[in-house]
């Protein structure tokens, strides 16, 4: 199809109007969604005090204690039903309880004991927190008995459940790139 020179200005004008209308619609939708999210976060929160940094840091201690039991199901109990685990020593993203249990069944054979080296806590609202930083695990090779330490970066996102317990909704851990 050949365009006549007279058609070009009209086509350009239409494209410009479509772009402006689309941009305004996207901006309006984003503004509405952000406002609804903020309003929903506050209106859905139960009255009471906000979680403290110390309480958030204690959630890792609870998780680390679950590791010490050697029971993969006890560790998985600390994750929400729809949690995502991006583990340190597996290439697979774990997105359900069975996959999370499977990961810990293998990881726990190394008798891991973690300690935090650096933590940054972000309290997003009464029901949502993020703990990110660096931790180190003492591991024991199940075949040789050889001990090693592995330093890794981590991020835990927690959500407070209606019953008041905090569950991990997203956990990412990756071995430090230097090493």
Q: What is the pLDDT along the chain (179 residues), one digit of tens a residue?
A: 444 445 444 444 444 443 333 343 333 334 333 343 433 344 344 445 689 999 999 999 999 999 999 999 999 999 999 999 999 989 999 999 999 999 999 999 999 999 999 999 999 999 999 999 999 999 999 999 999 999 999 999 999 999 999 999 999 999 998 85
Beta bridge partners of 129: 123, 158
Beta bridge partners of 157: 130, 170
Yes or no: say if 170 and 178 are a contact pair by the CB < 8 Å rule: no
Provide CATH code, domain 53-175.
Answer: 3.10.450.50
State the DSSP H helix or E strand holding residue 10, giving kind and residue range, or none if neither. helix 7-44
Give the per-residue pLDDT at 178.
80
Q: Put the strands of the sheet holding 147-160 in their side by side order.
A: 79-86, 166-175, 147-160, 128-140, 113-125
Joined together, the tokens standing for residue 94 give 């774990």
Joined together, the tokens standing for residue 114 give 């973690």
Give the per-residue pLDDT at 12.
45
Nearest one of 85, 48, 87 to 169, comparing CA atoms: 85
* Angle, alpha carbons 172-116-58 (nearest 5°): 85
pTM for the complete prediction?
0.72
Please enumerate in sequence order all residues whose Cβ is within 8 A of that of 92, keeping only pairs 6 or more positions apart, or say none.
99, 103
Q: Please state the φ and ψ torsions of residue 158, each to the nearest 5 degrees.
A: -115, 145
Domain boundaries, the chain: 1-44, 53-175
Yes or no: say if 69 and 178 are a contact pair by the CB < 8 Å rule: no
Give the per-residue pLDDT at 43.
37
d(CA 51, CA 161): 13
Classify residue 12 as exposed, middle or buried by CB count within 10 Å of its CB (0-12, 13-18, 19+). exposed
Give the per-residue pLDDT at 111.
97
d(CA 131, CA 154): 8
């Amino acid at each position: 199809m050949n365009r006549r020179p007279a058609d070009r200005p009209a086509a350009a004008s239409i494209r410009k109007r479509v772009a402006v209308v689309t941009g305004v619609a996207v901006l309006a939708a984003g503004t509405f969604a952000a406002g609804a999210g903020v309003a929903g976060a506050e209106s859905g929160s139960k009255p009471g005090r906000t979680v403290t940094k110390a309480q958030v840091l204690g959630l890792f201690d609870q998780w680390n204690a679950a590791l010490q039991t050697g029971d993969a199901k006890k560790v998985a109990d600390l994750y929400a039903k729809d949690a995502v685990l991006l583990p340190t020593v597996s290439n697979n993203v774990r997105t359900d309880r069975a996959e999370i249990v499977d990961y810990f069944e293998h990881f726990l054979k190394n008798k891991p004991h973690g300690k935090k080296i650096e933590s940054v806590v972000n309290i997003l609202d009464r029901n949502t927190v993020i703990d990110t930083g660096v931790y180190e695990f003492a591991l024991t090779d199940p075949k040789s008995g050889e001990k090693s330490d592995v330093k890794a970066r981590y991020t835990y996102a927690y959500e407070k459940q209606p019953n008041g317990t905090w569950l991990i909704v997203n956990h990412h851990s990756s071995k430090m790139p230097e090493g």
